[in-house]
Structure 1
Amino acid sequence: MRFLIKNWRFWLGFIVSAGFIGLFLATVDLNKMGHALANARYQYVAVAVALYFSAVFFRTLRWKYLLEPMGLVGVARLFPVVTVGYMANNILPARLGEVVRAYYLTRREGIPASAGLATIIVERVYDGLTLIFLAAVSAPVIILAGLVDGSKTSVQVSWGIFGLVSLFIFLFAIGALTLLA
């Protein structure tokens, strides 16, 4: 009895995993899945996995630089923390994997969870700004390359997106300069 109480996390994880495996087996056509696995091109899967982990490596490197003021943590020590956080993001709702990542960083490296969460928020802001920049750069390219259908509405929408994104970047730059002044 003491073993069961002491290892309740193990048993909870086991029960949840067994439930999801049961749900999977009840809802998936195993013949179709077997056919898909037999006809898969695994060389593409290998390339995709390699690209994924190289992207995770570079995100880990970026996080390392953000964490440097709190203490030196090597990439080799941070990589498992990042992958555990991403795994949790795939399982948990509402990007709770980021909280898991900050918690795991605290447990593993002793860096305060608030500092870890702050750097994760900075990462997300960088990601958002990068997407906005890419949208601003790609909108005119899409228009000039003729990738929109050419209707007046689609061209106006594309230029509108470009204008709004450019305005946002301009206002953000002004705000950043005022903070630095």
Structure 2
Amino acid sequence: MNPTTARWLRWLLTAAIVAFLIVFARTIDWTAAWRSIRDASPLLLLAAVVLNFLTAAVKGVRWWLFLKPAGSPSLALAMRATIAGSGLNNVLVANGGEAARVLFVSRATGIPSATVLATVALERLFDPVGFVVLLAYGGLAFSLPPSLDRWRAPAVGLLVVIAALLVWFVYSARNVTPDSVWEVTGTPKGSWGKVKAYFSRFAMSTRSLTSTPRFIGALIISMLAWIGQILTFELAAAAAHVSIPVAGSLAALLATNLGLVVRATPGNVGFFQFIYALTAGQFGVARNDAIAVSLLIQTIQILPVTLIGVALAPEFIFKRSAGRGRVEGIAPD
């Protein structure tokens, strides 16, 4: 398929989804939905905001597991950069916050950006891994809607494959040392040589930072983050005085994250509400109530982290850059 055709198909798909969302929006009693939001419990909303922020912050701890052996021992730096990156992700296109946090930490520590990028790649790897674990467990432990339950067997099979790949990755990287990075990259010559050296450094840094304890720690933290999101969904529903079982919040979390594969609108606003209402409705939640809860959830997830993240960004932008050309060292566990 040529690029022009692909672009037109993407625009047509987006237009079709937006048109569908407009039709869906016309079925909502917005007066009742806004009334539910207006009457929401401030205390429970505050608890949901704090929990969601802690969920974002704990991902900074997960990143620190890989940053520390790469030469950045500051947990505070990892957490601040993570929050700043998460906030910028909500205002920049194409997850630009991820590139920003690589730049932030590289400038602050002097660690080569290819190495910092390797730590981000390893850290982000455990988001989808944790999601697959949650999907497999949810399908086995709870009665989920048929649309999600059909993914139970594939999720279990995929989990086995992921576990095997992670074991192989750790095993294949057992003899890689920090010196291997410099042996592969050497001194680059010319533009192409620099590009090749950058990606070689990235690949070797990824393997140098691989270890069983770090992977286990990252997986545990990922599961804590996902559990935090389930509890955030629960608190948002409770704040709006909407009764939904834990299985319903789990199903809504899984469904909305599967729906995020297609970003039809900025922040998936509208699409998130549709998926949440569709899923929560299968647990006896009225559509108007589900819309109110979904709007609260998105506000909780986006607004506080964005405000704090954008406020933190100037600290990194105007921070004096650390010395370049330092030799990285991968510390043992």
Normalising TM by the smaller chain, what interval? 0.5 to 0.7
Task: Verify: 1:167 aligned to 2:157, yes or no.
Answer: yes
- Comparing 46-55 and 84-93, the one that deviates more: 46-55
* Cα pair distance change 1:141/1:89, threshold 3 Å: same
* Cα pair distance change 1:140/1:87, threshold 3 Å: same
- Give the aligned residue type for 2:78: L
Superposed displacement of residue 100, structure 1: 0.6
Relative to the length of structure 1, the TM-score reads 0.65
- Give the aligned residue type for 1:83: I
Structure-1 separation of matches of 2:109 and 2:163? 35
- Comparing 90-99 and 171-180, the one that deviates more: 171-180
Superposed displacement of residue 48, structure 1: 2.2
Structure-2 separation of matches of 1:36 and 1:119? 43
- Comparing 167-176 and 98-107, the one that deviates more: 167-176
Task: Verify: 1:101 aligned to 2:97, yes or no.
Answer: no
Q: Deviations over 1:95-146 (max 9, x none)?
A: 1110011011112222222122211111221110000011001113333xxx
Partner of 1:48: 48
Relative to the length of structure 2, the TM-score reads 0.37
Aligned length: 138
Contact kept in structure 1, 2:57 and 2:83, CA below 8 Å:
no
Task: Verify: 1:116 aligned to 2:116, yes or no.
Answer: yes
- Give the aligned residue type for 1:169: L
Superposed displacement of residue 37, structure 1: 9.1
Partner of 2:64: 64
Q: In the TM superposition, what are the counterparts of 1:10-159 in structure 2 within 5 Å? A: 41-143=41-143, 147-148=144-145, 154=146, 158=149
Q: Secondary structure at the match of 1:132?
A: helix
Structure-1 separation of matches of 2:107 and 2:129? 30
Structure number, greater radius of gyration: 1
Superposed displacement of residue 36, structure 1: 9.4
Structure-2 separation of matches of 1:40 and 1:163? 38
Q: In the TM superposition, what are the counterparts of 1:3-14 in structure 2 within 5 Å? A: none
Structure possessing the higher relative contact order (Cα contacts under 8 Å, 6 or more residues apart): 2
- Comparing 37-46 and 67-76, the one that deviates more: 37-46
Structure-1 separation of matches of 2:40 and 2:157? 45
Structure-1 separation of matches of 2:156 and 2:37? 45
Q: Secondary structure at the match of 2:151?
A: helix
Superposed displacement of residue 82, structure 1: 1.2
* Cα pair distance change 1:101/1:135, threshold 3 Å: same
Contact kept in structure 1, 2:72 and 2:109, CA below 8 Å:
no
Contact kept in structure 1, 2:129 and 2:162, CA below 8 Å:
no
Q: Deviations over 1:13-68 (max 9, x none)?
A: xxxxxxxxxxxxxxxxxxx9xx9997564323321231123223321111111112
Structure-1 separation of matches of 2:43 and 2:127? 29
Q: Secondary structure at the match of 2:90?
A: helix
What percentage of residue pairs aligned between the two structures are identical?
A: 24
Structure-2 separation of matches of 1:45 and 1:163? 36
* Cα pair distance change 1:110/1:166, threshold 3 Å: same
Structure-1 separation of matches of 2:90 and 2:81? 14
Q: Secondary structure at the match of 1:91?
A: coil
- Gaps (5+ residues) in structure 1? 1-31, 149-153
* Cα pair distance change 1:107/1:178, threshold 3 Å: closer
- Comparing 42-51 and 131-140, the one that deviates more: 42-51
